Amino acid sequence: MATAANPIKQRVEMVSVDRARGEIDSGTRVIDVREQNEWDESHLEAATHVPQGELVERIDELAPDRSERLLLHCRTDNRSARMAEELAGLGYENLGVIEGGIVAWEDAGLPTMSDSDLTPAQRMRYSRHILLPEIGVEGQLKLLNSKVLLLGAGGLGAPTALYLAAAGVGRLGIVDDDVVDESNLQRQVIHNTERVGIPKTASARITIEALNPDVEVVEYNLRLDASNILELLEPYDVIVDGADNFPTRYLLNDASVRLGKPVISASILGFDGQISTFVPHQGPCYRCLYPVPPPPELAPSCGANGVLGVMAGVMGMLQANEVVKLVAGIGEPLVGRLLLYESLGTRFTELKVKRDPKCPICGDDAAEIAPEEMGRFPDYELFCGAPAREPSPAAA
């Protein structure tokens, strides 16, 4: 619709998508003035593609008859309106601009074609991702081809799984040996009352499959330990840590460094949460941040201490955001940074975390792990029950 804020649209003919479709079906020529990457993502079958920077130069060849009816379109209608006014200045007398462009066309459910590997249904589902230049079709295809392993379908795993499924992560592995309990429902939003008593992996799978059929869910209804961790981690690109105990976190760290797998680790307790991303050999690992675990009395469980339900959502969605950045290769992941969130004051604090050159797992002198030693891990229960030493200066 023409407005005072855009006077060009008051000087050119704006054509609704329904009327434009009728004209195109009757043989009116339509010219798409978007860039090549936009055309590749989605275009009208009958359109001729001429980027706006080339249109004036090529218009005599395309439409030598200046009285011919021409429809122009772009993503919305701003570029095409400007080009219509420019062509009118060259003597073209019968120009129209498709109002709302291809966005309005697709929103009306009208057909388009694509030169990408996305199906029409996928182009519609992920259209808001595709519109982002940082993601586009290429980034969405990376998400659809990615494999992410979630350790836990609880407070952190529940919102992370929902948003990764909505984003179109191709395969989601979920590790959890627990069943849905009524006390989970205050924060574990992937489950519901009807599923109390069934395995959390099965409950999560049901919700994800209903949300997005593009996502393959792999259930691992078991407890993660030293005997199975390497086999579980190996097929996946990114690991999301939703563990609720220190032995599992240290086991995960040591295994992920051996395999070179990035880990997005978060934790919540009470009204506080924290998150960091550990990419082996590109920044610190979990042991650089926490060389030894705190004593049990300083790290009670959520079951003993309590946790604000929405804290799980905040930190879980931050974990999902980190996964998308890593998979699509965009933005600045939280490598070498620890983000703290305090919900009562709604405050974020960022701490720099340095790689510890003396770290026994990723440090300069860390021993190479021979293939026959890959499955050997220390006793983490014993390690986490040992008296705590002074904290490392790695966290500055």
Per-residue pLDDT tens over the stretch 262-286: 999 999 999 999 999 999 989 999 9
Q: What pLDDT was estimated at residue 124?
A: 85
In a domain, 71, yes or no: yes
Same domain for 44 and 170?
A: no
In a domain, 127, yes or no: no
Burial (CB count within 10 angstroms: exposed 0-12, middle 13-18, buried 19+), residue 4: exposed
Same domain for 171 and 269?
A: yes
Same domain for 169 and 101?
A: no
Same domain for 171 and 23?
A: no
Give the rounded distance of the alpha carbon of 273 from its chain centre.
Answer: 20
Q: Percent of the chain having pLDDT more than 90?
A: 73
- CATH code of residue 52: 3.40.250.10
In a domain, 389, yes or no: no
Tokens representing 37? 């990457």
As a whole number of Å, the CA-based R_g of the chain is 27
Q: What is the DSSP letter of 297?
A: G
Grade residue 294 by pLDDT with cuts at 50, 70 and 90: low
Grade residue 385 by pLDDT with cuts at 50, 70 and 90: low
**317, 160 Cβ separation under 8 angstroms:** yes
d(CA 331, CA 294): 32
Q: What pLDDT was estimated at residue 158?
A: 96
- Expressed as residue numbers, the domain containing 85 is 8-115
Closest among 68, 122, 117, 124 to 96, alpha carbons compared: 68
List 238's β-bridge partners, or say none.
Answer: 148
Q: 335's torsion region: left (phi>0), alpha (psi -120 to 50) or beta? A: beta
Which of 71, 100, 115 is the last residue before a domain boundary?
115
CA angle 297, 253, 281 (to 5 degrees): 135
List 171's β-bridge partners, or say none.
Answer: 147, 216
In a domain, 141, yes or no: no
Q: Global pTM?
A: 0.72
Mean pLDDT (the chain) is: 89
Same domain for 345 and 218?
A: yes
How much of the chain is helix, strand and coil, in % rounded to 5? 40, 20, 40
- CATH code of residue 352: 3.40.50.720
Same domain for 176 and 277?
A: yes
Q: How many domains does the chain have?
A: 2
Same domain for 31 and 171?
A: no
Cβ neighbours of residue 308 under 8 Å, at least 6 residues apart? 270, 271, 343
In a domain, 132, yes or no: no
d(CA 286, CA 248): 12
Q: What pLDDT was estimated at residue 380?
A: 74
Q: Percent of the chain having pLDDT more than 70?
A: 89
Give the rounded distance of the alpha carbon of 363 from its chain centre.
Answer: 30
In a domain, 60, yes or no: yes
Q: What pLDDT was estimated at residue 376?
A: 72
Same domain for 151 and 110?
A: no
Q: What pLDDT was estimated at residue 383?
A: 67
What pairing do the DSSP bridges indicate for beta strands 14-15 and 48-49?
unpaired
Tokens representing 40? 């590749």
Amino acid at 353: V
Same domain for 302 and 188?
A: yes
List, for residues 57-114, the tens digit of each pLDDT value. Answer: 999 999 999 999 999 999 999 999 999 999 999 999 999 999 999 999 999 999 988 7
List, for residues 110-141, the tens digit of each pLDDT value. Answer: 998 876 788 878 988 998 898 888 998 889 99
Mark out the alpha helices in the chain (DSSP H runs). Answer: 8-11, 17-25, 36-41, 52-62, 78-89, 101-107, 120-125, 127-130, 136-144, 157-167, 200-211, 229-233, 246-259, 286-289, 302-305, 309-328, 380-384
Q: Is the pLDDT of residue 7 over 90?
A: no
In a domain, 123, yes or no: no
Same domain for 43 and 171?
A: no
Which of 69, 94, 115 is the last residue before a domain boundary?
115
Same domain for 107 and 165?
A: no
In a domain, 321, yes or no: yes
Same domain for 153 and 101?
A: no
Q: What pLDDT was estimated at residue 303?
A: 57
**157, 282 Cβ separation under 8 angstroms:** no
